[in-house]
Amino acid sequence: MDLINGRNDTRMIAPPGAINTRSGRTTTAFTRGADRKAVGQTIAAKCARPCLDSITGMLERIGCGWLVLNESKRLLEWNAAAETILAACDDSPYPPHDLSAALRSLIAGVPNHFLPGSLSWIVIRNAGDRPIIMNEEGVVTPDRSIILALLDRQSRTGPNPETLQKMFGLTGAETHLALRLASGDAPLEIAERSRLSRTTIRTQLASLFAKTETRRQAELVALLGRISVLP
């Protein structure tokens, strides 16, 4: 029933190989279940690469290791940080072709639910401790790839210097100070290593507070940590 025009509008889809009674030619159904599935898979494949690149690029910027598994949980891709993190979790480093074994060793005995299309975080606390696994809700990859993010609590990464300068109009010296603070250095330590006076560092820090609209060093460092995900 055509609800707009108020008339019946039943359309028949001819099965494969059906004969058109007017032309005598063989016709094929325009849309079939298999065709729709193939089209869906093609669209998912085209969307998957940009999606994967976006997520793994973000993980790369914040210093995380990442691994991409297919729906059958077979390892497809990884980054250098993942190799480093997995190697550090065991006495002997694993070559790239043994990363799957290293991953299994890392999460052995830890409940995990790596669902197709999901993003899961594997948080590594201290050497010898079992990691914590947290799963994002919902599907993040259209081709049902599985992304595992390896977060080592001991590692730190800072924001992009150019991004800081564009966002807040920082000078080169202020940018350098911000990056050192983001890496965990104290102002007095920065002054000694940079061979600058404490007054100079305090002046630069005051300028950082003003330009970033923060009031305390802890607030500034927290802001820099959030900005580190930006390109």
pLDDT in tens, the chain (231 residues): 333 333 443 333 334 444 444 444 444 444 455 555 454 455 555 666 888 888 898 888 888 899 999 988 899 999 998 988 888 776 555 554 588 888 888 888 888 888 899 999 999 876 667 888 998 877 788 888 999 999 887 666 778 899 999 999 999 999 999 999 988 899 999 999 999 999 999 999 999 999 999 999 999 999 998 888 777
What CATH fold (topology level) applies to the domain 161-227? Arc Repressor Mutant, subunit A (1.10.10)
State how beta strands 119-124 and 132-135 pair. antiparallel
Residue 35: predicted pLDDT:
55
Q: What distance in Å separates the CA atoms of residue 140 and residue 55, rounded to the nearest whole number?
A: 9
The CA-based angle 19-22-28, given to 5 degrees, is 35
pTM greater than 0.85 (yes/no)? no
Residue 184: predicted pLDDT:
87
Q: Where are the domains of the chain?
A: 37-152, 161-227
